């Protein structure tokens, strides 16, 4: 989730390396960095609901430098400068991403058995994919994941909708998305839809056997530790946790030193 607005001067993605690829019937912006060793795995970065390739800023390259692993980063349809949405999102939009678009992207990028690094909506997509294709995932890092809808999430999403309408948030976001209104409301509207209140992906968890590192800020305004408890209770593999004091919904932005801990965990568990 989050506000999708990066501070000025912090977009550290190499613009020249971002390509456009036709995936899942849409033109998506994709950045692929090969691993230092041909046998090393690739990390697929799955952004938050209002994120994009560029809004990851320096995170993919930092993790690449710390691990030597490859990086595959893309903006989902409707985000960043990928093709805009042409219809409202449905309740199963994260399932569609995990089960249709992501497999096609991995095939096109020739990436097998990736590590999935997902933030917020991206973490949920990672969990759905890992549950559906357990043998195809080497490990998972999930930041601020959601496996069911909490009242706290709905309250915060409603509040950011009001900020978008009444503050300079829209102008800040407009720098990072091709069609900022469709990006914002494509995400905001579905999360606030009555039909979304029963969204739940706990059924995806029991088949996940890859090692999993769950990261959450203690002051996350979009979710509670009940999400991590459900993941630890529901998955079949090892689950390690990192709880960060003084941190909200975006640990990689608010506590960038956590990336060193994530990289160390990845080196030890893949």
- The mean per-residue pLDDT over the stretch 101-117 comes to 98
DSSP 103: H
Q: Is the pLDDT of residue 3 over 80?
A: no
Whether 227 and 213 have beta carbons less than 8 Å apart is answered as no
Give the model's pLDDT for residue 4: 58
- The residue length of the chain stands at 270
Supply the pLDDT for residue 199: 98
The answer to whether residues 68 and 36 touch, using CB atoms and an 8 Å cutoff, is yes
pTM: 0.95
What is the tens place of the pLDDT at every residue in 191-235?
999 999 999 999 999 999 999 999 999 999 999 999 999 999 999
**Per-residue pLDDT, 9:** 38
pLDDT at 46 over 70: yes
Cα dist from 108 to 24, 72, 104, 111, whole Å: 11, 11, 6, 8
Query: What is the structure's pLDDT at 70?
Result: 97
Q: In the prediction, which pLDDT does 150 show?
A: 98
Of 4 and 39, more confident: 39
- Going along the chain from its start, the domains and CATH numbers come out as 15-269 (3.40.50.1820)
CA gap 106, 164 in Å, rounded: 34
CA 35 vs CA 7, 72, 97, 153, 217: distances in Å:
29, 10, 25, 36, 29
Q: Classify burial at 179, counting beta carbons within 10 Å of its beta carbon; exposed 0-12, middle 13-18, buried 19 or more.
A: middle
Q: Taking a C-beta distance cutoff of 8 angstroms, is the pair 128, 98 a contact?
A: yes
Whether the predicted pLDDT of 11 surpasses 80: no
pLDDT in tens, 81-96: 999 999 999 999 999 9
Characterize the bridge pairing of strands 239-244 and 26-33.
unpaired
The pLDDT score that the predictor gives to residue 8 is: 39
C-alpha 174/C-alpha 183 separation (Å) is 10
Helix (H, G, I), strand (E, B) or coil at 217: strand
Alpha-carbon span 269 to 65, nearest angstrom? 17
Whether 180 has a pLDDT exceeding 70, the answer reads yes
**Does residue 261 contact residue 153 with C-beta atoms inside 8 Å?**
no
What pLDDT is stored for residue 1 in this prediction?
Answer: 63
pLDDT at residue 104 tops 80: yes
Give pLDDT, residue 10: 44
And the tokens for 267?
Answer: 């080196």
228 token code pair? 């991590």
Mean pLDDT of the chain: 94
Cα–Cα distance measured from residue 25 to residue 87, given in angstroms and rounded to the nearest whole number: 14
Supply the pLDDT for residue 12.
58
């Amino acid at each position: 989730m989050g506000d999708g607005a990066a501070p000025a001067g912090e977009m550290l993605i190499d613009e020249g390396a971002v390509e456009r690829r036709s995936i899942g019937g849409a033109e998506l912006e994709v950045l692929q960095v090969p691993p230092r060793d041909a046998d090393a795995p690739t990390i697929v970065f799955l952004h938050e609901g209002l994120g994009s390739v560029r809004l990851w800023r320096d995170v993919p390259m930092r993790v690449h430098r710390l691990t030597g692993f490859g990086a595959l980063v893309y903006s989902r349809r409707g985000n960043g400068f990928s093709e805009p949405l042409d219809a409202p999102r449905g309740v199963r939009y994260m399932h569609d991403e995990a089960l249709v678009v992501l497999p096609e992207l991995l095939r096109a990028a020739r990436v097998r058995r990736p590590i999935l690094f997902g933030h917020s909506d991206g973490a949920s997509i990672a969990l759905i994919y890992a549950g559906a294709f357990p043998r195809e995932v080497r490990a998972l890092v999930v930041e601020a994941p959601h496996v069911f809808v909490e009242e706290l999430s709905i309250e915060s999403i409603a509040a950011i909708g009001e900020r978008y309408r009444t503050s300079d948030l829209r102008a800040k976001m407009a720098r990072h998305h091709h069609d900022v209104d469709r990006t914002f409301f494509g995400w905001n509207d579905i999360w606030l839809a009555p039909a979304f209140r029963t969204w739940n992906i706990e059924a995806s968890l029991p088949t996940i056997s890859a090692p999993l590192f769950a990261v959450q800020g203690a002051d996350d305004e979009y979710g509670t530790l009940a999400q991590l408890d459900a993941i630890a209770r529901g998955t079949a593999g090892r689950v390690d946790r990192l709880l960060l004091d003084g941190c909200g919904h975006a640990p990689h932005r608010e506590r960038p030193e956590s990336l060193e801990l994530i990289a160390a965990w990845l080196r030890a568990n893949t």
